[in-house]
């Protein structure tokens, strides 16, 4: 009988020990989890960085390969492809000849698809601002154009309605105007009055500084650039994007089939559907979340949810020379880009 | 009847079991306490290294993303590329800003023997950001460290050289790489030497020709 009583005390001791140890182990485990998580994310971040940087290099190589003469036996195959291969650099998700690591998305934007804010003349600038602000904002537009003119001209004399050093030096955070060529597209926000007009525009996507003229190729155009172009609205942009999936605009005639005549009159002077450039923005990022949801009943939209991407602007001149890197931004904001997938019946 | 009386504990039994329990628990908690302590020491080291490596990463990326920003020097009435550095201080313009601000940000790293490595940030706008730095309060990013900077210049296609000074107004370009070595001020804290080596691929300004003597 004594034995039975002793078993009872053993159970008490054991239970107490188990409870105590459970509490202690939970505490330690919680701490371990926290630190290992921190270390894990840190490591993952570094791996992502390495993958993204190598994807950028692979994209540079892709652009150089594009300039290589094609082997003669593949020229026949080329005739079958009804799309100019250069038009795939329109910001769509790319498959490279040397594929990047899994999970890394690469997009290349030809700058022929952006509006050249350096070459653009006053009438065109006025047309852009009129679209953005409405034609009734005439006085404001005059002022904006005068300030912009003063910013890029070489002298320090303010024109009528314009602004030179005197104005910028009196600001709360004073600075001296450029009085020369713009160096980055974001710089236009520093010009008097422009910040409120363009604060909601993703400038790096809409504008470029580097192409030869101010024309835009709709085969390559970014959504942000098209939103600024006179004559286009969101509906037309959607149709242009849908058309681009499987076709290409070979000239203004093709565009006119989508864009109605009165809009076409405004849009026509901005277009050149054959033009490509030597300047590209390469964007690479690790896809964080991708969501798919139905849109308009007929289409499925896939959105890459990402905050920032590694981006660089390169000039590619030949396949024998290393590309010239004009700008690198490891944390470029890229707008969530819906990838419109159109179901087949919609196409018919 | 006798057997039923025996079913309780005797004082001796209770004392023995209590002592045993106390001993067991004592040993267990002492063991666990030391484990937890060790663990906490380990993780605080890990956290500190993580903090430091985050600082290094930010500096490295800000250097990779250096931009050949130019400004007009009002006295000389000419346009110069901004990148100024010597052994103890570095000032440059980068597309990176910790707040993810749009536009260019000017960075200044100063190595101070008392206060450690200090960082100042200001918007670059379109002029020389030097004047704006002095009005701002620097942030200490590495307390117990001094930094030494060196700059790689490309003289010819195959001739490169490390310099300990870089004057943007003379070179009219950026170095092709920057090397920073962070040395602990107080050796007793048992901290390691840290290094950053960042290559700058955007070292040439778009229009301004670099004026690097080929020596």
Q: What is the dihedral of CA B21, B23, B26, B31, to 10 degrees?
A: -110
3-state secondary structure of A213: coil
Count the Cβ atoms, other than its own, within 10 Å of residue A161: 17
Q: How far apart are CA A237 and CA A221, in angstroms?
A: 10
Q: What is the mean pLDDT of chain B?
A: 89
In this prediction, residue A341 has a pLDDT band, given cuts at 50, 70 and 90, of very low
The string of pLDDT tens digits covering residues A5-47 is 556 777 887 898 899 889 988 988 888 888 888 888 888 888 9
**Does any CB of chain B come closer than 8 Å to the CB of residue A336?**
no
Cβ separation A178–B126 shorter than 8 A:
yes
Q: What is the pLDDT of residue A347?
A: 44
In this prediction, residue B88 has a pLDDT band, given cuts at 50, 70 and 90, of very high
Provide the shortest C-alpha distance from residue B152 to chain A (in Å). 18
The string of pLDDT tens digits covering residues A64-84 is 988 888 777 665 555 545 678
Cβ separation A186–B104 shorter than 8 A:
yes
Instruction: Choose the mutation target among B75, B201, B204 for the interface with A, i.e. most A CBs under 10 Å.
Output: B201
**Does any CB of chain B come closer than 8 Å to the CB of residue A16?**
yes
On whether ipTM exceeds 0.95, the answer is no
CA distances from A303 to A168, A339, A344, B46, B61 (A): 41, 6, 20, 37, 27
Q: How far apart are CA A306 and CA A337, in angstroms?
A: 10
Q: Where are the beta strands (DSSP E) in chain B?
A: 70-73, 78-81, 84-85, 89-94, 105-112, 116-123, 139-142, 145-154, 160-163, 166-167, 177-184, 194-199
The string of pLDDT tens digits covering residues B100-151 is 777 899 999 999 999 999 999 999 999 999 989 988 999 999 988 999 999 9
Which residue does chain A place closest to B100, by CA atoms?
A: A331
Residue A237 burial class via C-beta count within 10 angstroms: exposed 0-12, middle 13-18, buried 19 and up: middle
Cβ separation B64–A328 shorter than 8 A:
yes
The string of pLDDT tens digits covering residues A255-266 is 999 999 999 999
Which residues 25-84 on chain A approach chain B with CB closer than 8 angstroms?
27-28, 31-32, 35, 38-39, 42
Mean pLDDT of A341-347: 44
**Residues on chain B touching A20 (C-beta within 8 angstroms):** 25, 28-29
pTM, rounded to two decimals:
0.83
Instruction: List the single residue in B28, B54, B126 with the smallest CB-CB distance to A21.
Output: B28
Instruction: List the single residue in A17, A183, A328 with the smallest CB-CB distance to B201.
Output: A328
Outline where A260-319 has alpha helix (H).
Answer: 261-267
CA distances from A38 to B48, B49, B133 (A): 12, 11, 34
Cβ separation B17–A13 shorter than 8 A:
yes
**Residues on chain B touching A181 (C-beta within 8 angstroms):** 207
Cβ separation A180–B79 shorter than 8 A:
yes
**Residues on chain B touching A147 (C-beta within 8 angstroms):** none
């Amino acid at each position: 009988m004594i034995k039975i009583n002793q078993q009872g005390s053993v159970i008490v001791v054991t239970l107490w020990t188990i409870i105590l140890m459970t509490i202690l182990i939970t505490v330690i485990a919680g701490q371990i989890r926290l630190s290992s998580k921190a270390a894990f994310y840190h490591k993952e971040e570094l791996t992502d960085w390495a993958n993204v940087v190598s994807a950028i290099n692979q994209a540079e190589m892709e652009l150089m390969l594009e300039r290589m003469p094609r082997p003669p036996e593949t020229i026949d195959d080329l005739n079958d492809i009804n799309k100019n291969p250069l038009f795939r650099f329109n910001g769509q998700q790319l498959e490279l000849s040397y594929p990047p690591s899994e999970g890394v998305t690469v997009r290349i934007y030809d700058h022929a698809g952006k509006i050249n804010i350096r070459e653009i003349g006053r009438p065109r600038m006025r047309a852009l601002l009129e679209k953005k602000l409405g034609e009734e904002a005439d006085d404001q537009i005059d002022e904006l154009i005068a300030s912009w003119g003063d910013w890029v001209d070489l002298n320090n004399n303010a024109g009528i309605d314009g602004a030179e050093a005197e104005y910028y030096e009196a600001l709360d955070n004073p600075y001296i105007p450029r009085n020369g060529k713009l160096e980055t597209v974001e710089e236009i926000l520093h010009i008097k009055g422009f910040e409120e007009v363009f604060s909601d525009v993703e400038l790096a996507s809409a504008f470029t500084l580097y192409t030869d003229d101010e024309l835009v190729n709709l085969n390559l155009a970014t959504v942000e650039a098209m939103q600024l172009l006179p004559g286009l609205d969101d509906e037309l942009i959607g149709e242009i994007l849908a058309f681009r999936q499987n076709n290409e605009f070979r000239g203004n005639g093709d565009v006119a089939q989508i864009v109605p005549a009165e809009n076409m009159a405004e849009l026509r002077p901005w277009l050149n559907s054959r033009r490509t450039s030597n300047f590209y923005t390469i964007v690479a990022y690790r896809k964080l979340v991708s969501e798919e949801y139905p849109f308009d009943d007929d289409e499925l939209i896939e959105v890459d949810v990402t905050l920032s991407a590694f981006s660089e602007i390169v000039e590619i001149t030949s396949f024998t020379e290393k590309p010239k890197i004009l700008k690198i931004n490891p944390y470029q904001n890229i707008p969530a880009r819906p990838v419109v997938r159109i179901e087949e019946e919609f196409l018919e | 009847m006798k057997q039923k009386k025996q079913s309780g504990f005797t004082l001796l039994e209770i004392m023995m079991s209590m002592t045993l329990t106390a001993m067991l628990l004592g040993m267990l908690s002492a063991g666990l306490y030391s484990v937890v302590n060790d663990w906490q020491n380990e993780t605080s080291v890990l956290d500190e290294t993580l903090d430091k490596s985050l600082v290094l990463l930010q500096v490295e990326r800000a250097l990779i993303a250096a931009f050949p920003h130019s400004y007009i020097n009002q006295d000389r009435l000419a346009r110069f590329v901004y990148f100024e550095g010597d052994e103890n201080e570095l000032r440059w313009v980068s597309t990176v800003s910790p707040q993810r601000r749009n536009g260019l940000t000017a960075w200044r790293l100063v190595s101070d023997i008392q206060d450690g490595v200090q960082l100042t940030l200001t918007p670059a706008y379109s002029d020389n950001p030097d004047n704006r730095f002095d009005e701002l309060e620097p942030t200490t990013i590495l307390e117990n460290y001094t930094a030494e900077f060196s700059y790689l210049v490309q003289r010819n296609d195959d001739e490169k050289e490390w310099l300990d000074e870089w004057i943007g107004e003379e070179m009219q370009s950026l170095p092709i790489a920057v090397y920073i070595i962070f040395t602990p001020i107080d050796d007793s804290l048992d901290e390691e030497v840290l290094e950053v080596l960042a290559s700058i691929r955007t070292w040439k300004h778009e229009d301004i020709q670099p004026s690097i003597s080929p020596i």
